[in-house]
């Protein structure tokens, strides 16, 4: 009988232990669910930068110390369950969220970026100003990168003095901590893609220089090939190109551009003054888009040697001429149209 009493006591104790174990399991599951599912995090905007090569454990600690997740252990639990790859970069957090949401963003590489729009026809000075305005770095840092990293185009243009012309106009998205060097690499890569699309692989320096002049002389796509034909015809005859955008670029390089071109600027001797020097300027004067590149690659056969640029015509169209007399008439008509428009 004593044995039976002891046996009964053992069964009673095992039942209590089982209940306790179940309660502990329930509590553990509840705690884990709370860590994973309960929203936590900042009420206002904060940024967290995950360095390349960071371990998952280090990332969890970083997020916990930044107040993005309640506990690194909750982050580790989600990582153990999902087995995803975590991506380096800068992340923006601005509201409380479940740790699973935080983990998902890092696994997707949903990094915070700033938009940088480069319009067609922008030169390195324009781009540098936009970089600074976007809060992506200083103007000078970008100019230094654009002038020093010519090795990026050495195979295309061994004599390039800068990356002018090779920084393809587009809308880019960069991490706030992106360097100027990384930005120019992305822009040159985009240029190479556009060049491959067009089949541009030969005479790149010449094509790009002409395309840059075309880009700055007219904003009308249908006129770009005709402008390119004018430049080709003048070059073939040994005539100076007499194009203001080249003169302006020479002034910008020397810090003498005053925002408006004056008659005295046309006589200032720089390598880019195409009124004083025949042939092409030393290099591109801006970064042209696809339409101008295509026009420079495939100019139509015309007899045009002159044009009044679209930007100065009252109707918004360029006026083309084969002879100087015809060109002078176009100029006179333009001036009359301008005067008439000003009297309205």
**CA–CA dist 274, 40 (Å, integer):** 64
Please check whether residues 133 and 98 belong to one and the same domain: no
**CA–CA dist 64, 21 (Å, integer):** 30
Domain boundary among 148, 176, 198: 198
**CA–CA dist 163, 142 (Å, integer):** 11
Q: Looking at the 3D structure of the chain, how many domains does it have? A: 3
Answer whether residue 3 is part of any domain.
no
156's CB contacts (< 8 A; 6+ apart) are 166, 195, 204, 205
Helices of type H across 150-243: 180-198, 204-217, 224-237
Mean pLDDT of 192-218: 96
Please check whether residues 225 and 338 belong to one and the same domain: yes
User: Which of the residue ranges 26-40, 170-184, 302-316 would you say has the lowest mean pLDDT?
Assistant: 26-40
Please check whether residues 218 and 316 belong to one and the same domain: yes
What the block records as the tokens of 10 is 């053992």
Domain boundary among 145, 179, 198: 198
User: Longest C-alpha distance within the chain, in Å?
Assistant: 132
Domain boundary among 141, 173, 198: 198
Q: Are the CB atoms for 139 and 129 separated by under 8 Å?
A: yes
* Pick from 193, 188, 145: nearest CA to 166: 188
Mean pLDDT of 161-175: 97
Answer whether residue 54 is part of any domain.
yes
Which residue's structure tokens are 């990332």? Answer: 59
**CA distance from start to end of the chain:** 122
For residue 312, pLDDT over 50 is answered with no
Instruction: Give, in degrees to the nearest 5, the angle at Cα 263 between 258 and 267.
Output: 95
For residue 322, pLDDT over 80 is answered with yes
Mean pLDDT of 315-329: 87
Residues 25-39 pLDDT 10s: 565 555 666 667 678
User: Which of the residue ranges 86-95, 208-217, 310-319 would you say has the lowest mean pLDDT?
Assistant: 310-319
- 164: domain CATH number is 3.30.1490
Answer whether residue 20 is part of any domain.
no
Please check whether residues 87 and 130 belong to one and the same domain: no
Mean pLDDT of 192-210: 96
pLDDT of residue 340: 72
pLDDT of residue 338: 73
Answer whether residue 239 is part of any domain.
yes
Q: State the chain's mean pLDDT as an integer.
A: 89
Owning domain of residue 65: 46-108
| CA 291, 217, 152, 201 torsion-angle sign | positive
C-alpha pair distances (Å), 218 with each of 39, 233, 250, 308, 319: 55, 18, 19, 10, 11
User: Residue 311 — very low, low, confident or very high, per pLDDT cuts 50/70/90?
Assistant: low
Please check whether residues 308 and 322 belong to one and the same domain: yes
pLDDT of residue 342: 61
Q: How much is the pTM? A: 0.80
For residue 242, pLDDT over 50 is answered with yes
Answer whether residue 265 is part of any domain.
yes
Please check whether residues 130 and 92 belong to one and the same domain: no
For residue 141, pLDDT over 90 is answered with yes
Mean pLDDT of 180-195: 98
Strands (E), the chain: 46-50, 89-93, 114-117, 171-174, 306-308, 319-321
For residue 10, pLDDT over 60 is answered with no
For residue 41, pLDDT over 80 is answered with no
pLDDT of residue 276: 96
What the block records as the tokens of 107 is 């696994």
- 69: domain CATH number is 3.30.1490.480
Please check whether residues 239 and 311 belong to one and the same domain: yes
For residue 236, pLDDT over 80 is answered with yes
Answer whether residue 15 is part of any domain.
no
Please check whether residues 209 and 250 belong to one and the same domain: yes
User: Which of the residue ranges 9-13, 127-131, 296-300, 334-338 would you say has the lowest mean pLDDT?
Assistant: 9-13
Please check whether residues 225 and 259 belong to one and the same domain: yes
**CA–CA dist 131, 342 (Å, integer):** 37
pLDDT of residue 58: 94
What the block records as the tokens of 343 is 């009297």
What the block records as the tokens of 264 is 């005295």
For residue 47, pLDDT over 80 is answered with yes
Please check whether residues 243 and 304 belong to one and the same domain: yes
Answer whether residue 312 is part of any domain.
yes
What the block records as the tokens of 331 is 């100029």
pLDDT of residue 12: 53
Q: Are the CB atoms for 67 and 75 separated by under 8 Å?
A: no
Please check whether residues 304 and 223 belong to one and the same domain: yes
Residues 144-155 pLDDT 10s: 999 999 999 999
pLDDT of residue 336: 80
**CA–CA dist 188, 203 (Å, integer):** 17
Please check whether residues 191 and 208 belong to one and the same domain: no
């Amino acid at each position: 009988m004593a044995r039976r009493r002891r046996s009964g006591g053992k069964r009673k104790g095992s039942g209590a232990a089982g209940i306790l174990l179940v309660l502990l399991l329930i509590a553990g599951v509840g705690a884990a669910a709370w860590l994973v599912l309960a929203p936590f995090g900042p009420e206002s905007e904060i940024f967290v930068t995950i360095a390349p090569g960071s371990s998952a454990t280090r990332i969890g600690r970083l997020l916990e110390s930044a107040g993005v997740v309640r506990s690194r252990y909750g982050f580790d639990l989600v990582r153990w369950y999902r087995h995803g790859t975590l991506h380096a970069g800068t992340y923006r957090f601005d509201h409380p969220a479940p740790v699973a949401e935080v983990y998902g963003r890092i696994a997707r590489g949903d990094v915070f970026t700033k938009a940088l729009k480069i319009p067609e026809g922008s030169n390195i000075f324009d781009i540098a100003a936009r970089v600074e305005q976007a809060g992506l770095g200083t103007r000078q840092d970008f100019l230094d990168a654009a002038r020093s990293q010519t090795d990026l185009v050495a195979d295309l243009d061994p004599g390039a003095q800068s990356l002018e012309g090779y920084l393809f106009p587009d809308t880019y998205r960069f991490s706030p901590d992106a360097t100027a060097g990384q930005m120019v690499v992305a822009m040159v890569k985009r240029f190479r893609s556009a060049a491959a699309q067009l089949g541009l692989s030969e005479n790149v320096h010449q094509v790009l220089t002409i395309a840059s002049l075309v880009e700055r002389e007219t904003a009308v796509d249908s006129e770009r090939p005709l402008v390119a034909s004018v430049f080709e015809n003048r070059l073939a005859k040994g005539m100076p190109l007499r194009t203001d955008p080249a003169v302006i670029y020479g002034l910008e390089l020397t810090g003498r551009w005053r925002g408006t071109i004056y008659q005295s600027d046309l006589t200032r001797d720089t390598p880019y003054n195409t009124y004083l020097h025949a042939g092409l300027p030393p290099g591109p004067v801006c970064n042209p888009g696809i339409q101008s590149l295509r026009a420079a690659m495939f100019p139509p056969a015309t007899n045009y040697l002159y044009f009044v640029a679209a930007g100065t015509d009252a109707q918004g169209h360029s006026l083309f001429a084969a002879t100087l007399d015809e060109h002078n008439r176009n100029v006179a008509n333009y001036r009359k149209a301008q005067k008439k428009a000003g009297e309205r």
